Structure 1
Amino acid sequence: MTPIKNQKNSKRDDLQGIRGLAILAVLGFHFYPKQFPNGYLGVDQFFVLSGFLMCMLLTKSQQFPTLSFFTQFYLRRFKRILPLYFLLILCAVTALYTVFPTAPILQNQMSAGKALIFTSNRPHTEDEDYFEKLSIAMDLFTHTWSLSVEIQFYFIVPFIFLIGLQLKGASRYVYYVCLSLLSFAFHASSATSVAFNSVFARIWQFSIGMISYFIVDNQYKSNTFFYKPLENAAKQEGPGLFILVKYTVLIISMFIILITVEVTPLPARFLITIFTGILIVLDAEDLVLNSRFLIFFGDISYALYLIHWPIYAYVKLTYPANTWILTSALIISILLAFLVHQTFERWYLRQSNNMITILVVSLFFLNVIVINWYEIRENVDEVMNNVLFFAVAEPYDNGPDNLNNDTIYLEMKSQLKKMLPNIKKKLFILDSLPRIQTEGVGKIAEEMKKGKKTMEEINKSLYDPFHYERGRHRYAELVKNECGSKCEMIDYVDAFWNKTMNAFQYFDSKGFTYFTVINHLSAHGLEHVRPIYNKICAGL
């Protein structure tokens, strides 16, 4: 066994082993929370590993000019994270609309939107509890909170690194230790939700990873502040010292994570964070972290973390309390993560920055469309309905007795034929009514208050009977000839017809308008027509 390896020429398989241990802990906590109540600590290990990796990338980029220093770091990190992350959000939202039985769509649309812009670590409400959300499994994007914390730290860490770069020797370590202590103090003194979700309450864990990198990176330098005593001890005692210390730390870490009794979060989180940093520093091969089993899970850990939760949520909602199906879902998650890692993940990591940019931007906007699909569809439907509303009242092509040659009527028939196969019971069609002259709406109350005009005069100025009867004629023929009993007209004539004035009335005696624009009812107008819909609903 080799106690120390050259980091620049050798891949750290044991780091992949730590990732494998971390993802297995998270899987155990999500799928079997009673058996692995402390598995959430795997995320704390991921934060330490991320700090190590970020520091490594920043160190490699420090020789570049300032602008390139930032761009190189962000290009590498975003290339690694964004394509698969955005693809999984897209797949999860699509599954939400198609296969999920009881998941609340509105809540998940909000969560997907927050995940898309990496704000999942900001709860919807102050009372929202992460662990309660896990137990309910209604939110398909609960697990994206940790990615949000990490991405938010990306915008801080280059500045932390550049400040530390100005310090030499022991002073640099003192700087990072002080930063860690401040963040940990904030974490320990904050409310549970803040301590769990805030990026500032997690800086200490990323910083432990950064300190670990500096120690490992300087392991062969004679002026190393921290690592040299360990190296000297290794020379005196042999490789066994490193292995003994590493196994001791590893066994304690696994005991804390795997014990079936829930431990106090704060000390457990502190120990796991420190121990993960020590495991990184003690670069000695061991039978556990260097095993092919943990390395395999480490390699697929990112894909597995993203994929497993929506699958778990589906099983939890569809087959509650079925252990066999839950275990099958876990196996499917692992197999699917391996497939995604071997195909899509490996493919995009080989692509150029330009290709990645196109891919990421495309997936982002596709997600925006899919997340807001219902709203977009409703707006399109509203526009189409408005077009149809206005179109049905346009002049005839060949007079009222030749509708079979009338362009607008033929389009109405075409649209109706598309709708009818999807109608099981009844299709309600709102009949035409005279349009309102919208420019006079804002003057109703003022004119009534000042008494300049009578109600009849004001109403006459708003009344626009043009085209009205043509629309009603076309609708009547459509229902009679094409739809039959499956269609029913909704008619506002009785609701808005004033028998005294012998005209349509668009406002009440106090001057409150029933309309806002040509064919849009105000809140007051909606209440005015509510009895019509109450009667319809009562008859269903």
Structure 2
Amino acid sequence: MKFREDINGLRAIAVIAVVLFHFRPTWMPGGFAGVDVFFVISGFLMTGIIFRGIEKESFSILKFYVARANRIIPALSLLCLALLVFGWLYLIPMDYKTLGKHAGSSISFLSNIIYWRESGYFDSSSQEKWLLHTWSLSIEWQFYIIYPLILVAMKRFMSISAMKKAILIGTIIGFILCIIITYNWPNAAYFLLPTRAWEMMIGGVAYLYPFNLRGKQKKITEWVGIILIFSSYIFISKSSPWPGYLAIFPVLGSFMIIQAKSNGFITHNKVFQKLGAWSYSIYLWHWPLVVAIFYFSLNDLFIYLGITLSIFLGFLSHTYIEKIRFKNEFSHVLNYLKCKPLLISLVIFSSSAVIFSTSGVYYRYSDDIQLKNTNALNAISDWDYPQPNLRVGSSKIRFLKGSSDKNILFIGASHIEQTYPYVQSLNSTYNIYYLTKEGCFVTPSYVHPKWSCNNIQNYKGIIKNIHFEKIVTSFYLLDEMLSEHKETKEEQLKNRINEYDKFLLFIKENSKKTYLILGEPKGIEFDPKMSARFNLPNYINVQTVRKQYNLHNEAIKKLKNITDIRIIDPIDFLCTDICKVMDSKYTFYYKDSTHFRPWYAKKSLQYLNIIFE
């Protein structure tokens, strides 16, 4: 295929968006859609390669795989190697172990599955994953493996014309499935091939059904495509369900630019042509620089330095790595095992496996650091809150059966959930109902961007159906999910306080006693991962902890229905003039910066006893 400058320029449009979004999301809120643009381009090029080979009866699946390996693996291997060396020098064992896991999954093109099982793409923890961006390469490689196999098999049973129609129909079905899966399993939809395949297939449709455009038609088609792509970059954000139906905008925009075959200024200017040529390597190197800024808490100046360095490293990688011409053809099937990129990837994978299996080569460090890292790893996943075991109307409940007919309701988010181990250990005579949803607040105006808060916001149903002697709730998330704009934030907070006031009135009227638990001690020092990473002190000053709740304290003064509610302040019970975060043997009290570990809850939450008297 003749080199298409318009497609090269389209690569630049994609990589610029992704880089700007990752370094500063506010610059281009929907810049992550640049990956979808890359998918369309890839589908167009791969479909062209495969169909030309099939039509000439010269297509070889092995040669196709080797060509893809020669294109993708060398630059990726260099990045993985550089990060593994960097990790040896600067990462603690816990983080180095994670890097080993991610490097191994990246070079074996399974990273999208690993990240799907770990957390969401936009979760804060994702900013610590040095190779998170390789999820898209894994999807492409999985597509490269499956797509030609299917097309070669189809050729045995149908004509080229029928194959084209099948791809068109498959693209439409794939888009519909993408919408359904996005709204039911959003994390899987983001990371896995089934919901992304249609984006590459629509690139194939662009190759198989080319438009016959002339003159102004080309210009108009190109500009419509550009507008669709840039609109998605600007008006879509990480709170949008993705990919879902909204992905049609950058995907269709890319499709139209490819069909236009125009020589417009946007895609053909010299800057975009250079960035397009370097786009793969720029994409590879930019994300680790983003992570480095977050990991080492660098200031905003490093954002601009990071962008510049991404381009420079992309240029070097393209010039000295991507342009290496590895052997594509081998005389015998077994000789394909001599493919150098494949051997390189095996070396990287083996090194990564050693790093992971030795817990980040932990024996590099002193016994104290080893112990602290081991304890931190144990703490991070330490959580004990069971699945719902009772349904009352539409409410999902964790129920603890008592020996009497008296009931207590605990309602709130994860800061209510963390009391469960202690309450369970009491073997109370009360029947105890836990009505919770992590990350949620009881007020109706509170909206979580990723899941519904109905389980606790529809609290009136269960409270009217069951008589509760006592109701226990939390004030912790009062100031979460508010606008960054000052005036809007103040208005939202005022409304939330009023709504919470109505909630307090309702639970007071429907129970004999009510209890409000204030915020627990919190801070970066409590986070086992951060403590081990930066060797933080084993305590935090109590005044520093209390300052974090100034807004909460002011809000309480504005609550009209706070009277006759027993307020419990965990800080009074858990701290003296300092709040300790671990014991003398580096056993952490928390699983993260704000949540108790179950054993610590059982040991220290005696301040809840007043509820059960």
1:499-518 Cα offsets, whole Å, 9 max, x none, are: xxxxxxxxxxxxxxxxxxxx
Match of 2:131 among 141, 145, 169: 141
The whole-number CA distance in structure 2 between the counterparts of 1:123 and 1:74 is 23
The aligned runs of 1:470-485 (5 Å cut-off) are none
* 1:198-221 Cα distance to aligned partner (Å, 9 max, x none): 2111121111011111123xxxxx
1:170 CA drift (Å):
6.1
Compared CA separation, residues 300 and 352, structure 1 to 2 (3 A): farther
Aligned 1:195-206 pairs, distance under 5 A: 195-206=189-200
Q: Pairwise mapping of residues 217-296 of structure 1 onto structure 2 (< 5 A)?
A: 227=211, 230-231=212-213, 234=214, 239-259=215-235, 265=242, 266-296=244-274
Note the 1:35-184 alignment, pairs <5 A. Answer: 35-62=27-54, 69-100=60-91, 104-123=95-114, 126=117, 128-133=119-124, 136-162=126-152, 165=155, 167=158, 171-184=162-175
SS where residue 122 of structure 2 aligns?
helix
Question: 2 CA distance for matches of 1:268 and 1:376?
Answer: 41
Matched residues in 2 for 1:271 and 1:423: separation? 54
Q: Superposition pairs for residues 284-433 of structure 1, below 5 Å? A: 284-320=262-298, 322-348=299-325, 357-374=338-355
Shift of 1:260: 7.9
Distance 1:161 1:127 in 2: 33
- What does 1:432-471 align with in structure 2 at a 5 Å threshold? none
Does the C-alpha gap of structure 1 residues 349 and 19 become closer, same or farther in structure 2, counting only changes over 3 Å? farther
Q: Deviations over 1:410-463 (max 9, x none)?
A: xxxxxxxxx9xx9999xxxxxxxxxxxxxxxxxxxxxxxxxxxxxxxxxxxxxx
Unaligned stretches of 5+ residues in structure 2: 369-583, 587-613
CA pair 136-364 structure 1, distance change in 2 beyond 3 A? closer
Which amino acid in the other structure matches residue 210 of structure 1? G
- CA distance 1:355–1:296, shift in 2 (3 Å): farther
Q: Which has the higher contact order (CA 8 A, sep 6+)?
A: 1
Matched, 1:21 2:13: yes
CA-to-aligned-CA distance 1:181-236 (integer Å, 9 cap, x gap): 222222111110111112111121111011111123xxxxxxxxxx3xx44xx3xx
Does structure 1 residue 185 correspond to structure 2 residue 166?
no
Deviation (angstroms), 1:303: 0.7
- Provide the TM-score with structure 1 as the length reference: 0.60
Q: Counterparts of 1:37 and 1:423 in 2: how far apart (Å)?
A: 44
Q: Structure 2: how far apart are the matches of 1:169 and 1:128?
A: 42
Q: Distance in 2 between matches of 1:377 and 1:130?
A: 27
Give the superposition deviation at 1:350. 7.9
What secondary structure, in the 3-state scheme, does the structure 2 residue paired with 1:62 have? helix
Question: 2:9 and 2:180 mapped to 1: Cα distance?
Answer: 33
CA contact (8 A) 1:164 1:175 kept: no
Larger Rg: 1
Q: 1:163 to 1:185 in 2, by over 3 A?
A: farther
The percentage of counterpart residues that share the same residue type is 22
Deviation at 1:65, TM superposition (A): 6.0
TM-score using structure 2 length: 0.53
Gaps of 5+ in 1: 1-7, 217-226, 383-418, 426-534
> What is the alpha-carbon distance in structure 1 between the residues aligned to residue 224 and residue 107 of structure 2?
41
The 3 A distance-change label for structure 1 pair 189 and 63 is closer
Cα separation, 2, equivalents of 1:126 and 1:72: 32
Alpha-carbon distance, 1:315 to partner: 1.8
Deviation at 1:318, TM superposition (A): 1.3
Q: 1:77 to 1:358 in 2, by over 3 A?
A: closer
Q: 1:64 to 1:313 in 2, by over 3 A?
A: same
Verify the 8 A CA contact 2:120 2:187 in the aligned structure 1: yes
Q: Decide whether the 8 Å contact of 1:61 with 1:72 is kept in 2.
A: no
Q: CA deviation at 1:357?
A: 4.2
User: How far apart, CA to CA, are the structure 1 residues paired with 2:69 and 2:9?
Assistant: 23
Cα RMSD after superposing both structures: 3.5
Distance 1:55 1:34 in 2: 35
